[in-house]
Structure 1
Amino acid sequence: MAPRLLFQALIFVCITVLAAILGPFGSYEHGVFLDRLVYWTVLNAVSFAIALSLIHITRSAAPKLHGFWREAILCALLTLFFTPFLQYWTVWYFDHLNAENPDLISMGTAVFSVAVCISILRHGIPYSFAQKTEKTEPPLENEEYLPKLLERLEPQQRSPIQRVSVDGHKVLVVMQNGEQELRMRFSDAVAELEGVPGFATHRSHWVAEYAIKAVATNDKGRPELHLHNGDIVPVSRKHEQNLEDRGLVA
């Protein structure tokens, strides 16, 4: 399971169990723990499904939309689509307890408030990661960052690899102490990078995690990686998930 999926699963379980125990928004008064656990499990599962679907739709429909405006639209759409289900599910599930029918406006306000809080948390994780990457440049003597690919390079240039890319019929290996071209397939070069924390950002680009300084957006609204050495690496739509899995983008 990908790190991001595992993280999402753990968040789902923690939120569900915690909600069942604490019974927020008045649910504590409407049933025992098992009743609340079922209620919050269904509620959170639907909210997660709607939220992930909306994120996918907005990225496909408006790829240039980022930051505040995308999050604002997502929060508004989530409130619009999830609140009716929340009211229906609450009334139907707790009907046998003669619970008071919830007010749609108050529920919508609660949904929007929670969505905003989650949005803030989602953007806080990439910021924390960006701060961390400023200090993770590996020392030259660290054997952990000396992969098999370095054996093909000139001894005086062997140093932590920053990125690898396709250059015509060759592969360009950019290191901390310089760069060198190798006549080999890109897939073989990536295979020989085993042990180095990194990932593909494009069908012809690979980058080491410790080389990333920041994530920016280009003129076309696509994310791109800015490295410590000043290089800029593109990110294709197919490989954007690799950034999400590492918390680089929300």
Structure 2
Amino acid sequence: MRIEVDWARRGREVAVFTAIGLFLAFIRPYGATAQMPFWLNAVYWTGLVLLGATVGETTSSILARRAPNLPVWAVMLVLSVVTALAVSAALVGIERVVDGGWMPLGYLPSLFGLVWVIAIAMTGLGVLLERSFNGGADHVPDAAAAATFLGRLPVRYRGAELYAVSSEDHYLRIHTDRGEELILMRLADAMRELDGAKGLQTHRSWWVAEAGVADARREGGKLVLVLKSGKEAPVSRTYQRAVREAGLA
């Protein structure tokens, strides 16, 4: 499956993290590379920063699909620990290649601790960059928009998690974690009300909340999103690129 990449955004991220790598090469934290020339320091630190950023982004994408309701502090903790483990493993590998030996086991906790400090700072910066690239959006408007829309439904749906909205003639079927409900409304009007929510149109008759997607699969060459309820939302060719860019397929 071909993956669409936002090259403009990717370029901005690489530029930022390269600048951080060059800064670390200049200050040479912990004195670990004090004897190396600047150009080698630049390669060393920039490579580690880009490795950490790649691992962090991959982990973030997995968390967004598998645990979309994790609080921000928990996401940052997981990202920083996983990134620190990956970079620490890379440093152990570099030590093996350069010196031909393994680091003493007693030094590994200290190594992880030193790397984790930088990983925490990088994770915080990554969150700020994500919000900057997304126009400063966070989860508060998402929840507020969905809650306002669900206010149209009977009382038992108040506080429910919205999975999707599908059009059936002049009605909309509202898919939630508490079941489904039909309301008299146009899909276009519903999408205007859900403008602040984190979701997207996948078909001329479907709008899907990103947090409501459990899986994605192909059926006879057509892309289908499987909701947490088990229902399937079709993805037409027109919206496949947007679905892939949202990380849902």
TM-score by length of 1: 0.47
The higher relative CO (CA closer than 8 Å, separation ≥ 6) is in 1
TM-score (norm 2): 0.48
